[in-house]
């Protein structure tokens, strides 16, 4: 029973409840690094780690948190997780850490992390909270990875640093720069929303 419930929670976060498509939430810190797939993957792993573990930790102590300092406690726990990610990257992946610069730290203010600790971790027992945090992170990550693939492919003709498109390909420099991120995300949102609307229209007709 609980297993199926958790599975449903997991699926919802990947599909219909995916925060990026529903409200375009939480793209702040990560969209900035989507011009290279490798960096995006690292950021996404960091984000999954942060959402999952801060959800778990907050859910464990949820009954003893004084209501008045709720926000502060959340921020403190999230910041702790992010520092762990930052230190880990610095120690084991120094090159990537150098490229990501301040963006790892900005996971703290990512709306998705905050939103899920607020909505789920403070109200549910540890296991569902962990599942929810993990799946929210995964749901968010696959979208950003798709975006990163598009941007890197069109912007540099390569994916994961491997040249895919031939020598005749002219790089769309705009894709690696800031506006490209906005446009690609807009197109994604458009496609997904359009897809969701089709069955509804058919039903009407």
Contacting positions for another protein (CB under 8 A):
23-29, 31-32, 35, 61, 64-66, 68-69, 71-73, 75-77, 79-80, 82-84, 86-88, 90-92, 94-95, 101-102, 105-106, 108-111, 114, 173-174, 176-183, 185-186, 189-194, 197
DSSP 108: G
Question: For tokens 């409840």, what's the residue?
Answer: 17
Q: For the CB of residue 117, give the shortest distance to another protein in the complex, in Å.
A: 11
Question: For tokens 């069109």, what's the residue?
Answer: 154
Q: For the CB of residue 49, give the shortest distance to another protein in the complex, in Å.
A: 14
Query: Would you say 1 or 202 has its CB closer to another protein?
Result: 202
Q: For the CB of residue 142, give the shortest distance to another protein in the complex, in Å.
A: 18
Q: For the CB of residue 20, give the shortest distance to another protein in the complex, in Å.
A: 9
Query: Would you say 87 or 164 has its CB closer to another protein?
Result: 87
Q: What whole-number distance in Å separates Cα of residue 75 and Cα of residue 167?
A: 48
Alpha-carbon torsion (109, 115, 118, 120), positive or negative: negative
Consecutive H or E run containing 197: helix 178-204
The pair of structure tokens assigned to 196 is 């969701």
Cβ contact 36:152 at 8 Å: yes
């Amino acid at each position: 029973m609980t297993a199926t419930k958790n599975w449903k929670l997991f699926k919802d976060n990947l599909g219909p409840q995916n925060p990026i498509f529903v409200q375009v939430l939480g793209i702040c810190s990560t969209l900035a690094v989507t011009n290279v797939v490798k960096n995006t993957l690292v950021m996404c792993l960091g984000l999954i780690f942060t959402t999952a573990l801060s959800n778990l930790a907050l859910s464990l102590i949820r009954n003893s948190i004084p209501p008045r300092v709720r926000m502060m406690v959340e921020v403190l726990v999230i910041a702790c997780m992010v520092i762990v990610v930052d230190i880990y990257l610095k120690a084991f992946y120094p090159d990537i850490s150098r490229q990501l610069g301040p963006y790892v730290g900005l996971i703290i203010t990512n709306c998705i992390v905050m939103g899920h600790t607020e909505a789920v971790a403070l109200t549910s027992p540890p296991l569902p909270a962990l599942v929810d945090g993990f799946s929210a992170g995964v749901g968010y990550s696959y979208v950003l990875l798709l975006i990163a693939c598009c941007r890197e492919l069109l912007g540099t003709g390569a994916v994961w640093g491997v040249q895919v498109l031939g020598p005749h390909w002219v790089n769309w420099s705009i894709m690696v720069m800031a506006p490209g991120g906005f446009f690609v995300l807009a197109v994604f949102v458009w496609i997904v929303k359009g897809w969701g609307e089709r069955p509804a229209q058919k039903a009407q007709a």
